[in-house]
Amino acid sequence: MAQYHVDKMAENVYILRVDDAETRYFEALWEIPEGITYNAYLVLGDEKRVLIDGWKKNYAPQLLETISSIIEPKTLDYIVVNHMEPDHTGTLPTLVEAAPNAQIVAHPLAAKMADSFYGIKGNIKPVRDGQELDIGGKKLSFHYTPWLHWPETMMTLLTPENTLFSCDAFGGYSIPPTIYDDNPQVVEKYLPFATKYLFTVIGGYIQHITKNLEKLAGRGVNPATVAPAHGLVFRRNPSTIIEHYRKLAAGHVQKGKVTIIYDSMYGFIEQQVAEATVQLQAKGINPTVHRIVDTEHPHLSDIVGDAGDSEALIIGASTYESGVFPHMDYVTDIITKKVKHPKKILVLSSYGWGGVAGKKIAKKLETAGHKIVDIIEIKGQLTQEDREKIRDAVSRLLN
Ligand SMILES: Cc1cc2nc3c(=O)[nH]c(=O)nc-3n(C[C@H](O)[C@H](O)[C@H](O)COP(=O)(O)O)c2cc1C
Ligand SMILES: [Fe+2]
Ligand SMILES: [Fe+2]
């Protein structure tokens, strides 16, 4: 069951949060047993009333109800759309109907998308990059942040509160037990979900995080509160989430983190991975392991999240019908799309009569800019010589 939260963040500023524990695959792709929240915000100026972003369409009646607990929805003057993805705009048609006088404030590209997605044509106020909107006693300014996560995306800064409504950027998966970052333990538990979110959702455009952070800093945007559209609101330490994003975007990794991703139909790759693991453990490294075997399949979202902040990867793939085991082929494609900083990668592979999987996987990864430390292709079970090859390759992985 979804949960709904309203909290007063400051005088006349409210967060409206829905906890979505029903979506199993975010964007129909990423497994999120931890759930996700959609955060909308209500800002009441002395003259104008503004809703910032919305929720996924499943919760449209509840969004209206939630707004109604504070103001009459029909008295809204503006609906700011920072980003057109339907996890934030699915409720837009309902809102437009309930608040016919409200103008939609958005990037010009978003204005066009409002028509193509929802047939919403009139009452749209496209804003320029940097444009301000006086709402009486408070001001909003709009800052284009292209590719965080779509080309039309912008952030909205509220003054004098100095709150940045950042939409997808600085967001994360999961349903935090609190609205704010007040409790360090909550934050510690949350940050890995922010990492997973960053790589799965924005990973392909990661360099735009750096670009947009520089742009915002250049404009003197230094928020006291970071209020994203997913996950925790950071008001105690806004720099925690900004730095987290900045570092990952710059390619920072968890020192010594090695992620192993492999398939094994009958256990031969498993032998190779066991050998590699012994060697890693001898170096004091406990790898993070995702195995595709007959008793379990890992979540693609966890693979991408873990690969993103790993120092090195080990990828093991069986040869399957003169090609790569299908899931590993897919996993490799996704890694090339979502993990843009070059990783050191050891490719392990197994075959019965003619090995091709290792070379194919390595080629894909290398073409995408990753650094292949070695390709080891082994026929069936390991010989002593194979074991030595694996040990040697692993010892070169972290140098
Ligand atoms: C469905 C299937 C298709 C296979 N296709 C090939 C192949 O095209 N070429 C090859 O050399 N081995 C092929 N093999 C053999 C496996 O690649 C080989 O047994 C390998 O050691 C399996 O490692 P694993 O048990 O870790 O998956 C195939 C095996 C299966 C079950
Ligand atoms: Fe998005
Ligand atoms: Fe989103």
Strand order through the sheet with 124-126:
3-10, 13-20, 36-44, 49-52, 78-81, 103-106, 124-126
d(CA 353, CA 319): 9
Give the three-state DSSP class for 166.
Answer: strand
pLDDT tens-place string over residues 353-392: 999 999 999 999 999 999 999 999 999 999 999 999 999 9
Instruction: Decide whether any atom of ligand 1 lies within 6 Å of the 25 Cβ.
Output: no
Residue 368's domain comprises: 258-397
Q: Largest alpha-carbon pair distance within the chain?
A: 78
Report how far ligand 2's centroid is from the alpha carbon of 146 (Å): 11
Mean pLDDT, residues 236-249: 98
Q: Which pLDDT score is estimated for 36?
A: 98
Nearest CA to ligand 1 atom 31: 265
Report how far ligand 2's centroid is from the alpha carbon of 209 (Å): 13
Q: Which pLDDT score is estimated for 7?
A: 98
Report how far ligand 3's centroid is from the alpha carbon of 201 (Å): 8
Which of 249, 280, 315 finishes a domain? Answer: 249
Residue from 268, 270, 271, 351 whose mutation best tests the ligand 1 pocket (most atoms within 8 A of CB): 351
DSSP 255: T
**228 lies in the same domain as 266:** no
Q: Which pLDDT score is estimated for 122?
A: 84
Instruction: Decide whether any atom of ligand 1 lies within 6 Å of the 144 Cβ.
Output: no
Cross-strand pairs, 52: 41, 80
Handedness of CA 301, 302, 303, 305 (dihedral sign): positive
Tokens of 328: 């590993």
**52 lies in the same domain as 158:** yes
Cross-strand pairs, 158: 140, 163
What does pLDDT average to over the chain? Answer: 98
d(CA 180, CA 7): 10
**221 lies in the same domain as 317:** no
Which of 219, 249, 279 finishes a domain? Answer: 249
Report how far ligand 2's centroid is from the alpha carbon of 153 (Å): 9
**54 lies in the same domain as 161:** yes
Cβ neighbours of 95 (radius 10 Å): 24
Nearest CA to ligand 1 atom 1: 320
Report how far ligand 2's centroid is from the alpha carbon of 339 (Å): 17
Which of 249, 277, 295 finishes a domain? Answer: 249
**263 lies in the same domain as 131:** no
**224 lies in the same domain as 291:** no
What residues have their beta carbon closer than 5 A to ion ligand 2? 85, 149, 168
Q: CATH number of the domain at 360, please.
A: 3.40.50.360
249 vs 210, 237, 316, 392, CA distance in Å? 6, 19, 27, 31
Q: Is 246 in contact with 216 (CB distance < 8 Å)?
A: no
**275 lies in the same domain as 221:** no
Cβ neighbours of 362 (radius 10 Å): 23
Nearest to 142 by CA among 208, 210, 88, 221: 221
**297 lies in the same domain as 163:** no
pLDDT of 399 > 80? The answer is no
β-strand pairing of 13-20 with 78-81: unpaired
d(CA 148, CA 264): 37
Instruction: Decide whether any atom of ligand 1 lies within 6 Å of the 180 Cβ.
Output: no
pLDDT of 228 > 80? The answer is yes
In angstroms, how far is the first alpha carbon of the chain from the final one?
49
Q: Which pLDDT score is estimated for 398?
A: 87
Residue with tokens 């987290």: 244
**162 lies in the same domain as 182:** yes
Instruction: Decide whether any atom of ligand 1 lies within 6 Å of the 272 Cβ.
Output: no
Instruction: Decide whether any atom of ligand 1 lies within 6 Å of the 33 Cβ.
Output: no
d(CA 143, CA 308): 28
CB-facing half-sphere around the CA of 246: CA atoms within 13 A: 11
Q: CATH number of the domain at 62, please.
A: 3.60.15.10
- Total domains present in the chain: 2
pLDDT tens-place string over residues 17-71: 999 999 999 999 999 999 999 999 999 999 999 999 999 999 999 999 999 999 9
**179 lies in the same domain as 226:** yes
d(CA 302, CA 212): 26
**245 lies in the same domain as 263:** no
Find the ligand nearest to 320 CA: 1
Which value, in Å, is the radius of gyration of the alpha carbons in the chain?
A: 24
Helix or strand holding residue 167 (H, E): strand 163-167
d(CA 172, CA 133): 28
Confidence of residue 226 (pLDDT cuts 50, 70, 90): very high
